[in-house]
Every structure is written in structure tokens, then in C-alpha cells.
Amino acid sequence: MKKDRTYRLTLEYDGTRFSGWQVQPSLRTVQGEIETALQRILGQPVRLTAAGRTDAGVHATGQVAVFAASTEILPELLKRALNGLLPPDISVIEASETDPGFNPRFSAVSRTYRYTITNRKISVGRAYAWHVRFPLARDLLEEATKPLAGHCSLEGFSKKNNDDDYSTIIYNTGWTFSDHTMIFEISAIRFFQHAVRGIVGTAVTVARGKEPPDLIGSILGTGDRSLAGPLAPASGLCLVHVDFGETL
């Protein structure tokens, strides 16, 4: 028997061949592909709401989206049907029913992004990392990003849109290093377009010795985008987790 249901999807996608998450006319988007598949399965149009609108070329392993529909299909069957129809660069990891009032955009208490840098040419994984051809001082990467904590404004790292308020709360940042990779993770209550890529690009400029170690702190204080380094490429960025403050 059909009834009104709200479904929650956890999604993974390779953003390489997408023009971002959000539906755009005549462009291939993650939202557009999923909504097209859902309409085929359910026989009705639906609209997805996501926790974060990733930009063109940005990946996700933990995106969360919801939609409402009048249907009898159970979440596990929906998951199987979607994975059978969706292109190889999108996968549904989990599907469940949720409260009709659940909105991942406003219910999230934090979002975590990961940025991967490699200091040598790689073949496996090259679509998910930024190959930086210049020597980078790893201690300067860490020092450069230390000011990113607590209440702050990301205006100086973000694309200028219609936002009047670029304030956020940053809960955690950190670098993980191995032989050839440098991985930056940052968790905050909200982000803005290009913010993480702007931060990483600026940190790399500092780590190359081109700018002083306190540059990110200065940008946080002034909100001056002209002080920041170039945007890091989208290919190295991935939305890895959205936290809703849930307890098991």
C-alpha cells in the first residue's frame, strides 16, 4: 500500500565528470542523475535535498540527501534499484526512512572534508589528489592552518555569492602525512563555495616559502580574498562525513 514516506540516502560519487551536485540545465550533475533514476523507479518526480552542494569535480564518500514520495517501496529495495540504474560514478551506500521534518542541510551539526596532496606523479588515485610539483615544508602546512579553530569567518577564502555572513564554527583540523601524500581534514558546522580549496591553496603557498606562516590568520582577520593563494584543484577534495549528532 502506498503511503507518504521520507527517505534518507547516504551517497558516494566520483565528481570528475559532474558539474557539481546541484541540478543545472543542460549539465550533468549528481542531483540530476539521481532524480532521473528515482523518477524511473517511482513513477513520479522527486526533489533531493543534500547536506552540502559540492562543486564541479569534487567527490563524496559520505554525502547525505533526503526526498519525499508516496510509494510502497522499502528502503533496501530502493537502494538496490537505484544502484542498478545509476551510472558507475554514483553509488547509494545506505537507504532508510526518516522523519518528515529531517533536512540534512539544516540538521547537520558538522561536515568533514578531506583534501589530498601528493608530492610525486601517481597513476593510481590521480583523479583524487593534487600533484604539487614543488617541495612543501610539512611543518609549515601544519603551522599555516593552526588559526582555523572555533568561531571564525571564511569570507577571505570563499567565492563571493549572495552571502552576507561567512561565519562558521570549525571543530577540528589536522594533517596526516605519509611517504608521498599530505592529507588535510577539516570539520565545521558549515562551509562556503571554494572555502576548503582556498584554505589548502593558501597553505600550500605558505609551505612553499612564498608567504609568511601567519597568512591564514591574517586572512581570517581581514576577510581579504586578495591575500589568499590560488584555489587548490577540485580533484583533491572529498566530502567524507556529515554528522547529525546522532547517538546509537
Known catalytic residues are: 55
What span, in angstroms and rounded, lies between the C-alpha atoms of 240 and 185? 9
- The amino acid occupying position 31 is Q
- The amino acid occupying position 80 is R
- Going through the chain in order, the beta strands assigned E by DSSP cover 3-13, 49-50, 59-71, 90-97, 110-118, 130-131, 150-153, 167-177, 181-188, 237-243
Which of 18, 32, 37, 39 lies closest to 89, judged by CA? 18
Task: Please tell me whether residue 158 adopts helix, strand or coil conformation.
Answer: coil
- The amino acid occupying position 231 is L
> In three state form, how does the secondary structure of 65-131 look?
EEEEEEECCCHHHHHHHHHHHCCCCEEEEEEEECCCCCCHHHHCCEEEEEEEEECCCCCCCHHHCEE
